Amino acid sequence: MITDVGTDVTTSVAPVALPADRSFFWALVALAAATAALAVGLHLRRGSADREALAAVSTEQLAVRAGAGRDAQALQQLRYRAQGGAAQAQQALGSVLASTEGGDRTEALQWLQAAQQQGDAQASYLLGRLHLQPGAQHDEARAARDFERAAAAGHAGAALQRGLMARRAQEPAAAARWLAQAAQAHDPQALFLLANAAREGNGVPRDEARALTLYREAAALEYPPAHQALAMAYERGELGLARDSDQAREALAEVAHSLKHPPVER
Amino acid sequence: MTFNRRIGWKMGSGLGAIALGAGLLACGGSDDDTPPASAPTVAAGTTAQLALLETTDLHTNVRSFDYFKLADDSTLGFERTSTLIKAARAEFANTLLVDNGDTIQGTALSDYQALVNPVACTGTLAIYKAMNAAGYDVGGIGNHEFNYGLPYLAQVTGNAFDVDGMPAVGTQPKCAGPAFPQVLANVYSVKSKQPLFKPYTIVTKTLKAKDPAGKDVSVPVKVGFIGFAPPTILAWDKRWLDGKVYTEGVKETAEKFIPEMRAKGAELIVVISHGGLDSSAYSPTMENGSWHLSKVAGVDAMLIGHSHQIFPDAASTVGQFNQTGVDKAKGTVNGVPTVMANFWGKHLGVIGLNLKHDGSKWTVDTTKTSVQARSTQNADKTYVAVDATVAPLIDAEHQATIAYVKTPVGTTDFRMTSYFADVGEPGAIEIVNQAQADYVSTYIQANLPQYKTLPVLSVSAPFKSGFAGGADFTDVAAGPLAINNAADLYLYPNTIHAVKVNGADIKAWLETAAKRFNTINPALTTAQELVSTYPGYNFDMFTSADMQYEIDVTQPVGSRIRNLTYKGAAIDAAAEFVVATNNYRASGGGSFPGLDGSKTIYASPDANRDALIAYIKTAKNLTRAGNGSHRSWHFTKVTTAGPVTFKSAANQLTLAQAAGLAGITLQQADDGSGKSLSVYAIDLAQ
């Protein structure tokens, strides 16, 4: 039932500031390549047991160790794999560098672009996020293309983000199409926003039954606003529901609970 | 309660053989057993039945009690689950009782013990007291265990954590934890690169079994338990965990430890996974890894949780139970018997295993396995009786929590009500806006320098505005304000969110809120109802002298907001503001234009209600002048030929007058609905 898209929750990207000066940027890219080469050298000098143990670790897990785990060896192994040309490692290294304090943001961008060129959907998604942030790299048109590229490869988060861009551009029908694509892949935020759209007839035909189904699916994924929408609907007898204060109370309790673990931004 | 208890463990390598004998209660520290030198022999062909009993997501609901309503609630509570546990123990010759996690957080009781009057190092948490008495064999650790931070978790579980920000392990006090081992295999210390908890434990259980001749015998089985929490804790509790712990993927972790557990003599492997089922491509960071855990070699049963759902349930429409490999009727995941026992003690999970010994080890006759999630609700919708032994165990904590909820945190010199909020009375709303604005403003000054220069405003709505009748309004009496009044003043369990918007967004926001009103035709001589069916909880309003606007109810929806000013000057459509609101609104709840989560600059983990309590504690004495009289909006003045009416609670006209509202009159003392409502009129020309 749950498709294999958009489940990567490896990293959340913190706001980054990238230098405005492009030549400075490419100088840093060169520096990054040199650093990577140095990393290879260090890698070769390390104990073979360590190396073998790390070699068996998945790239995604290495990214957790390098990021949340603050593990320099894991970061080095990630760099080694990225330098070796593995798209997933380039993406993972880029996202780790972009999201950790003191990470080299410029190098992050370089690795993400390298991964994107190899067709890595998560890299395209992350680049889209970066291109939406304020700063020199801000480029809405590029962000839209990044998201479209990732969404075409089945990335639910990218479809959601592209849908949010369409909403901001006052294109409700296009927004609803993107949200539907993300909702199809069980993205809770997309399910909720699409439910709102169906309830209001905003970009899609007004359809309360569909809205209810979508709210319920988002609630089953523990999306707090969906529980709250259901609570209010039960309280007032909206969306075709019979008034039921017990159900309303239960749904409100689920709001409190699910708010402790809202969906993790991809 | 004493039968079928855990039999004991080897307490250390020097202590020799495993202690045997029913009723012996071993305390703590049982992991990493090596096979005993003289393991008792079991005859080939010996059979036994062993039931694994699961609770999950109890969230400190010991009593069947709602601490917000301060009333009994028979739909939940361990005191009823305990009745199911006793019944299962009477039914099965051998049982092992296991909790899945999300145990220590979730009610006013847990907040009281963690934050208000923290449990002492020597003390035991109320929920653990109840669980100790019930004779739990093993506990897992869920994501909510991390909600109060690592030092608290270390203390209440009786652990020392070797993590940054805590004293050296040797200098941490040895505090009382629960009397059963707790396991968690996939959360690691950044500092030590070792698991934070014991990853697994091996429980030696003496079984009441039948030998090949059918004779009753007592023989041991070694059951290994390994625990998992969702890797997403790193995001959810980042403020506590960042730089201190990291996670390993559940699948890799299981593949690493399960062979080790087998090598140490575990004959059965039970996975305690605080996560649901997700059959999408495996990732070491996926939230719900239990489907993939079922595929790891050697897993005999899974006790899962986290999703607050019931499994097995043949009728379930829940997506995760309708995936490939999941048999929602039988209760198996890729053939592995699996149970999820709902939440708050509403259900007990029961996996009945039929064991057969082949002379060297126990095996499970999988054709005879039964899996059930048993409800505390009977077929006739009543609930099983409470186990009367539970409540006395935690009565002191229960009463202290009730007293805490009733504790005055401040006073108010005016009655705070929403009876006339629809016509501009801010008495129950301004305090919420003040608390929200103060919270967000303080946070921005400290943490978000890029927004420091932006004005911070706040909106809130009359959540209770008479939909269900005259009693469905906020009404807090003048005098002392207690914690539970915060729930009266702020109905929803939301968290504070701050959004960055511009002047045009604010106007669109208020235009949407103004749907609360019907369009009034001034020429009509007949009575017109002012208030539409648009819900009061969406009637967001500012309540500050700085922000001023008019609502012109003679205009159609979308064209009603006039003379919108900030500090006396018309608001520029491009001018930026920060608006404090709640997670629901900021995420798109109510479909306000432009609000869909993407304008959120701060998603606080703190509840609006808690910010309100904190604000009242600081302000101490609330006054009408300071906290309940600032209107941001008025109706655009218009003379109407006929009366403009609205309904509110019966006999409250004096409140409108006390609040200084002009032009309100009583039209009809009883509106005829039988819901204690009166019909009032407002003179829009005043």
Could you report the per-residue pLDDT of B158-195, keeping only the tens digit for each? 999 999 999 999 999 999 999 999 999 999 999 999 99
Residue A225 to residue B589, Cβ atoms within 8 A? yes
pLDDT one-digit tens code per residue, B108-138: 999 999 999 999 999 999 999 999 999 999 9
What residues 302-331 of chain B have any CB closer than 8 A to a CB of chain A? Answer: 307-309, 318-320, 322-324
Nearest to A93 by CA among A81, A101, A84: A81
- Strand-pair partners of B202: B224
- Decide if pLDDT at B484 tops 60: yes
Tell whether B647 is within 8 A of chain A (Cβ): no
- Decide if pLDDT at B33 tops 70: no
pLDDT one-digit tens code per residue, B240-278: 999 999 999 999 999 999 999 999 999 999 999 999 999
CA dihedral B255, B259, B265, B267 (to 10 degrees): 60
Query: Which of helix, strand or coil describes residue B630?
Result: coil
Please tell me the least confidently modeled range out of A7-11, B125-129, B240-244, B478-482: A7-11
What residues 85-144 of chain A have any CB closer than 8 A to a CB of chain B? Answer: none
Taking the model in full, what pTM does it have? 0.83
Q: What is the ipTM of this complex?
A: 0.82
Task: Using a pLDDT cut of 70, give the percent of chain B over it.
Answer: 94
Helix (H) or strand (E) holding B495: strand B495-502
CA distance B634 to B400: 45
Tell whether A199 is within 8 A of chain B (Cβ): yes
Tell whether B629 is within 8 A of chain A (Cβ): no
Tell whether A148 is within 8 A of chain B (Cβ): no
Instruction: Look at residue B40 in the predicted model and tell me its pLDDT.
Output: 60
Query: Residue A89 is which amino acid?
Result: A
Q: Output the furthest CA–CA distance in chain B (Å, rounded).
A: 100
Q: Output the furthest CA–CA distance in chain A (Å, rounded).
A: 70
Query: Which of helix, strand or coil describes residue B634?
Result: strand
- B165: CB partners within 8 A, 6+ apart: B150, B151, B244
Nearest to B513 by CA among B562, B470, B460, B472: B460
| pLDDT grade for A32, boundaries at 50, 70 and 90 | low
Tell whether B387 is within 8 A of chain A (Cβ): no
Nearest to B196 by CA among B140, B245, B249, B248: B245
Tell me the nearest-neighbour CA distance from B607 into chain A, angstroms. 9
- Decide if pLDDT at B30 tops 70: no
Region B399-417: mean pLDDT is 96
pLDDT one-digit tens code per residue, B672-685: 999 999 999 999 99
DSSP result, A64-117:
HHHTTT--HHHHHHHHHHHHTT-HHHHHHHHHHHHHSTT--HHHHHHHHHHHHH
What residues 235-264 of chain B have any CB closer than 8 A to a CB of chain A? Answer: 235-236, 241-243, 245-249, 252
User: Scanning every residue of chain B, which has its alpha carbon at the shortest distance from the alpha carbon of A238?
Assistant: B535
Please tell me the least confidently modeled range out of B33-37, B45-49, B52-56: B33-37
Neighbour-count burial of B17, counting CB atoms closer than 10 A to its CB (0-12 exposed, 13-18 middle, 19+ buried): exposed
| pLDDT grade for A18, boundaries at 50, 70 and 90 | very low
Residue B285 to residue A10, Cβ atoms within 8 A? yes
Neighbour-count burial of B605, counting CB atoms closer than 10 A to its CB (0-12 exposed, 13-18 middle, 19+ buried): middle
CA distance A189 to B587: 8
Tell me the nearest-neighbour CA distance from A258 into chain B, angstroms. 10
